[in-house]
Amino acid sequence: MSNKKEFLVIMISLLCLFLTACSQGNSPESANEQDESNQKEVTDDNEKSDKDPKDNKSDKEKKDKQDKNKPSSDQKNNESKDKQDNSSDKQKVEDDGSAEEKILPIGTLSYGDNGEKVSMMQEALNRLGYSLEVDGDLGWTTVWAIKDFQGQVSALKIDGIYGEQTREYILKAIDGNLEVNPGTGLEKNNDTEENQNDNENNQNNNKENSNVVSNPSSILALVNKNNKLPADYVPNNLVNPNVRFPFTEDLPKKQMRQVAANALENMFNAGDKAGVDLFAQSGYRSYDRQEAIFAANAREHGRKAANQFSAQAGESEHQTGLTMDVTSADINYRLNTNFANTDEGQWVKKHASEYGFIIRYPKGKTSITGYQYEPWHLRYVGEKAAKYIDSNNITLEQYLGN
């Protein structure tokens, strides 16, 4: 009995312990896991406590600083836009500063210069209506164009030199702030009867102010409305060239100076071989003969009109003995522009310079020569000058810089 009581007491005690454990919600395994968790937390806390507090502050400050310095997306966009605007403004300034220089060069250019700057200037003048060959060579044709432009601007000196002031006014003309009419500049400044009224006093003043040719025997003597031959000038060595004429009379107009006559014979011989039949019509004329011819033309057509196609006494190249008018049977030996359409006229235009002759009054050069187009009027200037004048499509005035 005693043993049963002791057993019962033991069982009750064990039951009480079991119930107590259950009421606390902890099993032996849970208690172990909780202990391990608590131990880990203590370890982490110890590690955190072992780290220097200053390091924590330093990391935070660095992060704050990075966040502060780091631009936002809006800031990035604004900065990018500002950069583009600045770049655009800078480019605009550069473009404005160099645009004019791209049209016209800066500096001084004169006869004989060549290169890209000359080409730029020629292109600019062509934009104003001139017809220059853009070859980078500042020859007499370009000099003439510069002079013609300068002649239309009262503030410019007519010297054929491209400089700062000329550049300034060309730019104004390109921008539309200055009216330019190619071919009128020199006419406005030439003191010739063509540009004066028919008042007799003005005509007399023109004659008094005309230049008298100082070297009339030179094969490059310039004879025109501004450069007169002396009334008593008669060339030496006048001969009749051995060429065809449409008349048989021995007239003074058959004559030429020996040097020009020899060249004419060579040209006619070459024409014969090429199958063209040239005829010589009118060569030397004296001062008195030219005076009579002009008077007759003035009576028939009026003095002003006559001055467009007929030279006054002293102003005719025929008095030099270096000129010959040529013609063809196809136009009944007349002297008119139809000659240019004949085989003879076309051959002369192509080959005359090879023998030292030029078409003295070419098409489109009336404003320079003072006379209308005359494809029949040949002037001897020598092979070198003739080839240069022909290849550059200029006049004797331009070749000589007048």
pLDDT surpassing 60 at residue 159: yes
Residue 386 has pLDDT above 50, yes or no: yes
Strongest mean pLDDT among 1-15, 171-185, 272-286: 272-286
In the chain, what is the straight-line distance between the N-terminal and C-terminal CA atoms, in Å? 163
Q: How many CB atoms lie within 10 A of CB 301?
A: 14
pLDDT score, position 192: 35
Instruction: For residues 187 and 66, give the distance between their C-alpha atoms in angstroms, rounded to a whole number.
Output: 79
pLDDT (average), residues 243-265: 96
Per-residue pLDDT of 276-286, as tens digits, reads 999 999 999 99
State the pTM of this model.
Answer: 0.50
**Coil, strand, or helix at residue 55?**
helix
**Nearest in space to 238 (alpha carbons), one of 223, 256, 250:** 256
Q: Per-residue pLDDT for 380 more than 70? A: yes
What is the predicted pLDDT for the residue at 294? 85
CA distance 20 to 91: 91
Q: How confident is the model at residue 300 (pLDDT cuts 50, 70, 90)?
A: confident
pLDDT at 102 over 70: yes
Q: What is d(CA 282, CA 319) in angstroms, rounded to the nearest whole number?
A: 11
Stretch 179-199: mean pLDDT: 54
> pLDDT at position 297, please?
82
Neighbours of 10 (CB within 10 A): 10
Q: Give Cβ neighbours of residue 260 (< 8 Å, ≥ 6 apart).
A: 219, 241, 321, 322, 323, 324, 356, 380
The set of residues, in sequence order, having a beta carbon less than 8 Å from that of 278 and lying 6+ positions away, is 243, 244, 267, 268, 271, 326, 327, 328, 344, 348
Of 34-43, 176-185, 223-232, the range with the lowest mean pLDDT is: 34-43
Q: Which of 69-73, 109-113, 142-146, 172-176 has the lowest mean pLDDT?
A: 69-73
What stretches of 210-280 show up as alpha helix (H) in DSSP? 258-274
pLDDT, averaged across the chain: 78
Percent of the chain scored above 90 by pLDDT?
47
Q: Which residue has the tokens 């060239």?
A: 241
Mean pLDDT of 281-305: 86
**Does the CA dihedral 348-353-357-360 come out positive or negative?**
positive
pLDDT higher at 401 or 78: 401
Euclidean distance between CA atoms 285 and 267, whole angstroms: 22
Residue 61's pLDDT is 53
Q: Has residue 58 got a pLDDT over 70?
A: no
Q: What is the CA radius of gyration of the chain?
A: 51
Residue pLDDT, tens place only, 105-124: 999 998 768 889 989 999 99
Q: What is the pLDDT of residue 273?
A: 97
Contact 229, 205 (CB under 8 A): no
